[in-house]
Amino acid sequence: YVKNDMVMNAYYQKLQEDNAPSDDEIQSYYEENKATYDSVDYRLTTIEADLPTEPTELADPVEETAADTTGTTDGTAATDSTQDTAYQPSDAEIAKAMEDAKVLADDAEQTVAKDGEAHENEKKSSVNYLISDWLFDDARKAGDTTVITNDNSHCYYAVAFEKRYLDETPSADVRVIIPTEDKTGEEILEEWKSGAATEDSFAELCKKYTQDTSAVENGGLFEQVTKTGMTEELSNWIFDNSRQAGDTVAITVSDTTYVLYYIGQDQPEWKINIKNTLVSDTMSQHMQDITADVTVEDPKGKLNYLKVQAEESAAAETATAETQEITEEQTAATEETATQAQ
């Protein structure tokens, strides 16, 4: 079983490599899905409505009860049950506060391009959904401004568009050693420097000292690593503009030490993301195709999921039959009523 699993995984990886999209296919996919991969720079000023914290002349009328004015029916003093509850403004009060805020938002629109909070290199998925469509509209051009309402949060957004672009920041290839307890990162680097001090010699040290067993065979090689999902300490070093091939460092993050060897730049992140998407789609379709005619048999009754599937299928068929029967009864009743009326 272990051997079969290894063979299947190797075959799956081979299929992924064979089905890797070409640069033209990646570019074509990008052209059809630009909004997903593009970035925008913009400025934002948020104007919040000043909602009243106690009743005003626009508050909803409140009916007084006997207990409110003379105490409770048993003669004890009445307690204000709402004294610890935040005041909920009336619709009229909210409308007035939003009206006043709109005036301030219109004023803010005039200066947001200069004074607004700067947002840089943001993807559509990370931008507030209320303003993302406006920012990623193909008609948008530098200097455009607008005011957008957020009724749920009772505020306005004054927004200034600066630019939209495809972030070409490259990924990177590195080798990584996570030392065992027997060696520190500095000791490993000293041993590397006192030897051949090459990429190959670093890879040999990885096989010798790393606790990451999955990285032993390939000498700790990690290709096309990106900033996404990486700790700030590692990202800052790897993607430093001054980084050169052959640079090394030992960095400790949350009690884990990483000894890094920088190889060089690789494809930009957007290309890697599209490649992974296309390969995933291809492999999913491939798996569907090769299993389409496969029938799973369970003569010993050991595969519980087949029982569950059968029960769910039977329940669905029963529900469909009951619904159809009810529909037929309703149709018959309606026809009978119509006949009687005639």
Average pLDDT per 10 consecutive residues for the chain, totaling 342 residues: 94 92 96 96 97 90 63 50 76 95 97 97 95 97 97 97 96 94 92 96 94 87 89 94 96 92 96 95 92 88 88 89 78 67 62
137-191: pLDDT as tens digits: 999 999 999 999 999 999 999 999 999 999 999 999 999 999 988 889 999 999 9
232-262: pLDDT as tens digits: 999 999 999 999 999 999 999 988 999 999 9
Token code pair at residue 90: 């009336």
Which numeric CATH code is attached to 38-59+85-165?
Answer: 3.10.50
Query: Which of the four CATH numbers 2.40.128.50, 3.40.1170.60, 3.10.50.40, 2.40.110.20 does domain 168-293 have?
Result: 3.10.50.40
Residues of the chain with CATH 3.10.50.40: 168-293
